[in-house]
Amino acid sequence: MLTVKASAQPSKIQGIGLFADEKITKGAITWKFNPRFDIIFDPEEVKQMPPEQRQLIDHYAYLSTTTGKYIYSIDNSRFTNHSSVNNNVDVVALPGEPETCGVANRDIEKGEEILVNYRAFDRDDEISQEEYLNS
């Protein structure tokens, strides 16, 4: 779940992105798992879903490198776009947290798009050859 003020808006990178609605200081936790807002799905469960549900999971959820389960956030964090070059959020394992957290690696200005390296937390993207993951 997002722990900062942010909103979904059109992105120059890809479709809809997540943008800071406030200045976010370096070191601030931007996202952390919250079982009330982040739904866990077992991969076998996803395989059994109707196609329209699987599509939603494929597009907006991630396959956790920590748990091996799909995590689907119901807040706007699902609109966070990828960058391996200009990401302003790092993925960090914090003691006592069931999933990795997002932590600002520099100050993020109000209105700036929030970007994270998908390969750092998504098992599927970790090994994917998709071209967009190289940007």
pLDDT tens digits, residue range 77-88? 999 999 988 999
* CA–CA separation, 135 and 87 (whole Å): 10
Class of the CATH domain delimited by 6-35+75-134:
mainly beta
- In sequence order, the β-bridge partners of residue 24 are 108
Question: pLDDT exceeding 70 applies to what percent of the chain?
Answer: 92
**Structure letter (DSSP) for residue 114:** P
What mean pLDDT value characterizes the chain? Answer: 93
List the domain boundaries for the chain.
Answer: 6-35+75-134
pLDDT of 64 = 96
Closest alpha carbon to 54 in 43, 64, 66, 68: 43
* Ramachandran class of 111: left when φ > 0, alpha when ψ lies in -120 to 50, beta otherwise: left
- Give the pLDDT confidence of 1-43 residue by residue, as tens digits: 999 999 999 999 989 999 999 999 999 999 999 999 999 999 9
Q: Which residue from 27, 3, 12 is spatially nearest to 111, judged by alpha carbons?
A: 12
Confidence at residue 130, expressed as pLDDT on a 0 to 100 scale = 59
**Which has more pLDDT, 73 or 128?**
73
Lowest mean pLDDT among 13-17, 83-87, 90-94, 125-129: 125-129
* pLDDT grade for 123, boundaries at 50, 70 and 90: confident
pTM of the full structure? 0.92
